[in-house]
């Protein structure tokens, strides 16, 4: 008998805590992220902690064409909104997603200028900041907490579809402070992996950054890569207990993709035996195993990644799109009678 309903009820009738629809449930409407390139770099590129960046990384493979350094933030936002209107025609408000490289790696005054510039766009209701755990400090996080608490932008207001706090009227909620989310690229819970891929920080640094951020009431997300060299499938499954111990709101996972021209492409050519590679069927089953070990209150924002075919030498799963992969995951969960947190259930 399927006892899912007796153990855990997830939104939208799913068997895992999907991030899709989270903003709509919380703020009354769908919010779309607009990826921005604000011209940052990383401390493992400029020599502060290393050179060459992470061994798997070609940043161009991970952001859309409208997001280009050199364009103003408002131009990127305008073009991004037009880009997403094709698919999300009813979306009215957006989140400015500072994604490219490490988006807290600058003096606070520059960060203030960039974040507040993005928030002046009339359709932007918040910011999402992608960064590294070694690129934050108390001062930067205090500022972000003040920004989220409405202590920074005098007179800033946006009307959303329904109240979630603050002044409101019959036509919806008037926000007097922006949404602020910080996403950390953690990638692995194992120090030897982080060293091998040239991250330039250890897992304790990530743990400390997440706790510092969450303690200020800021929503925190984290990103992990499945299949990094030297990690077995059991190691990846065992990392779930470490992830569960972090005060995260959401998590993103994606399978390792070998991008052309990276140092990891050379490493994979030389030592393919060090890499766990998944067929699509294997990955679906493996990720169900992961979900069973993840605490049920974690929002799963992503479980696969899509790199444009021109950036990789092979596409072993074909050109299957994310929406179809989500459908296959839900089907596999149902076939196995499984759900997020099943291994943690009493």
Between the CA of residue 207 and those of 23, 177, 220, 221, 237, what are the distances in Å? Answer: 26, 27, 12, 12, 18
167 vs 260: which has the higher pLDDT: 260
What CA–CA distance (Å, rounded) separates 29 from 164? Answer: 11
Tell me what pLDDT residue 63 has: 66
Predicted confidence band at 171 (pLDDT cuts at 50, 70, 90)? low
Which residue ranges make up each domain of the chain? Answer: 4-344
Whole-number pLDDT of residue 60: 62
Report the chain's mean pLDDT, rounded to a whole number.
91
- CATH class of residue range 4-344: alpha beta
Question: In angstroms, what is the C-alpha Rg of the chain?
Answer: 20
For 256-310, what is each residue's pLDDT tens digit? 999 999 999 999 999 999 999 999 999 999 999 999 999 999 999 999 988 877 8
């Amino acid at each position: 008998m399927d006892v899912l309903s007796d153990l855990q009820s997830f939104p939208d009738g799913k068997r895992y805590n999907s991030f899709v629809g989270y903003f709509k449930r919380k703020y009354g409407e769908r919010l779309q992220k607009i990826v921005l390139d604000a011209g940052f770099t990383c401390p493992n590129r400029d020599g502060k902690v290393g050179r060459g960046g992470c061994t798997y990384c070609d940043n161009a493979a991970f952001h859309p064409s409208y997001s280009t350094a050199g364009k103003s933030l408002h131009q990127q936002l305008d073009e991004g909104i037009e880009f997403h209107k094709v698919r999300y025609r009813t979306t009215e408000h957006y989140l400015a997603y500072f994604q490219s490289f490490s988006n807290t790696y600058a003096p606070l005054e520059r960060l203030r200028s960039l974040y507040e510039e993005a928030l002046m766009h009339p359709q932007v209701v918040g910011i999402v900041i992608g960064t590294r755990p070694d690129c934050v400090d108390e001062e930067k996080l205090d500022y972000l907490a003040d920004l989220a608490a409405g202590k920074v932008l005098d007179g800033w207001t946006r009307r959303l579809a329904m109240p979630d706090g603050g002044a409101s009227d019959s036509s919806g909620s008037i926000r007097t402070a922006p949404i602020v989310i910080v996403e950390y690229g953690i990638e692995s819970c194992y120090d030897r992996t982080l060293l091998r891929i040239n991250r330039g920080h250890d897992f304790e640094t990530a743990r400390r950054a997440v706790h510092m951020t969450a303690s200020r009431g800021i929503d925190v997300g984290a990103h992990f890569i499945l299949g990094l060299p030297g990690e077995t499938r059991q190691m990846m499954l065992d990392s779930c207990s470490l992830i569960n111990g972090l005060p995260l709101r959401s998590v993103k996972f994606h399978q390792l993709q070998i991008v052309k021209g990276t140092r990891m492409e050379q490493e994979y050519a030389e030592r393919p035996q060090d890499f766990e590679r998944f067929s699509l069927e294997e990955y679906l089953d493996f990720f169900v195993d992961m979900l069973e070990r993840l605490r049920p209150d974690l929002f799963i924002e992503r479980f696969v990644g899509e790199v444009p075919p021109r950036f990789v030498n092979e596409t072993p799963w074909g050109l299957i799109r994310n929406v179809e992969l989500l459908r296959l995951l839900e089907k596999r969960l149902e076939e196995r009678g499984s759900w997020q947190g099943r291994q943690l259930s009493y």
